[in-house]
Amino acid sequence: MTEPLISVIVPVYKVEKYLNQCIDSIITQTYQHIEVILVDDGSPDNCGKICDKYAIQDKRVRVIHQENGGVADARNAGILACTGAYILFVDSDDYWGTNCFLMKIVELLIEKDFTIDVITFNCTNLFEEQNIFITDNRLLNKSLLINKSNLEVLEILIRHDIFVARPWNKCIRKDLIKDNQLYFKKGLLSEDIEWSGRLLTCINSIDISDDVSYTYRKGRKGSFTSSVRVKTIRDILNTIENAILYSKSINNEKMIRIYLSFFAFQYITLLISINSIREKREKTELFRRISSMSFLLSYNLNKKVNNVQMMSKVFGLKITSLIMIAYFKRKNKLN
């Protein structure tokens, strides 16, 4: 059987401290039939030179140098340039923790005779300042997926918090991306949420890998996810509002429930992040918009959403928001 070419897309910006580890973890995989597309997104440090060095040393590595346009623009450039049958994204401050990670993914593709659209997998969280590794505990017994339809599998993944808004924890058939124009929206913060929601509606077949080799660096100073900004909250609000409108065009009731349950989980992240805003008038206006979408909590396939829904019925949305942030801070002391 012909080995499939796997495209690995790495958007690169101001990560020279981590870039070698990231690229080395990809090119030293036991599965060698890959192309690595490094997109230097106008990085002002030595990242561009580091990328060029790897391209000279390894013919599988290609470099795209472009003006800074953000991670969405960089990923899109990689998608347009890639030639592989399947695509994986790797953030340039992360890395694959074992050299057999990709082989496990390919073996699953072969097992499914390359008919599968998406394979999703978990990760290990690296809290850099403390140098602590914690495996994400969102694991699922694959026996639950046997003899299930595609919609039933998606429902199970949403229910168990497995399908999440991350492009880097998925191996995706390239034609699925290109046929459905699944490009990232430039200029949008938390673009992963919007993109993952569109991806969800296009999937005809999905499977999971129990591999946790992807090492996700959390709390890195200077990363987009290390702080909450007002624009991030506004962009997520706009994304959810647009998703609600789009759901009205979906003809399958079960798919609507799955789709809105995915965004209901994103909604509860807003209930937490709204508390980071200090300016009273702005916070009031944003909370009004959040409150107007509280019906999303009724799309509670995800057990976390269900818990928040029950809490809001008892305490109201504003008190629930304060309880959640207190709980979140206590649980995530590492942050």
What band does 226 get if pLDDT is binned at 50, 70 and 90? very low
Q: Residue 316: is its pLDDT beyond 80?
A: yes
Q: Residue 335: is its pLDDT beyond 70?
A: no
Mean pLDDT over 175-204 rounds to 95
What pLDDT shows up at residue 334?
Answer: 45
pTM above 0.75, yes or no: yes
What pLDDT shows up at residue 60?
Answer: 98
Mean pLDDT over 140-147 rounds to 88
Q: Residue 189: is its pLDDT beyond 90?
A: no
Q: Residue 244: is its pLDDT beyond 60?
A: yes
What pLDDT shows up at residue 262?
Answer: 98
What pLDDT shows up at residue 131?
Answer: 86
What band does 97 get if pLDDT is binned at 50, 70 and 90? very high
What pLDDT shows up at residue 195?
Answer: 97
Q: What's the mean pLDDT when you consider all of the chain?
A: 93
Calpha distance 199→188 (Å, rounded): 17
pLDDT tens per residue, range 249-286: 999 999 999 999 999 999 999 999 898 888 899 999 99
Spatial contact of 78 and 9, defined as CB atoms under 8 Å apart: yes
Q: Residue 330: is its pLDDT beyond 90?
A: no
Q: 86 pairs with which residues across the strands?
A: 6, 173
Calpha distance 331→333 (Å, rounded): 6
What pLDDT shows up at residue 228?
Answer: 60
3-state class of 145 per DSSP?
helix
Spatial contact of 49 and 16, defined as CB atoms under 8 Å apart: no
Strands, E, within the chain: which ranges? 6-12, 34-41, 61-66, 86-89, 95-96, 118-120, 124-127, 132-135, 170-173, 206-208, 214-218
Q: Which CATH superfamily is domain 6-224 in?
A: Spore Coat Polysaccharide Biosynthesis Protein SpsA; Chain A (3.90.550.10)
127 or 1, which is more confident?
127
Distance of CA 62 to the CA centre of its chain: 24
What pLDDT shows up at residue 140?
Answer: 84
Mean pLDDT over 115-139 rounds to 90
pLDDT tens per residue, range 46-96: 999 999 999 999 999 999 999 999 999 999 999 999 999 999 999 999 999
What pLDDT shows up at residue 137?
Answer: 78
Percent over 90 (pLDDT), the chain:
81
Percent over 70 (pLDDT), the chain:
96
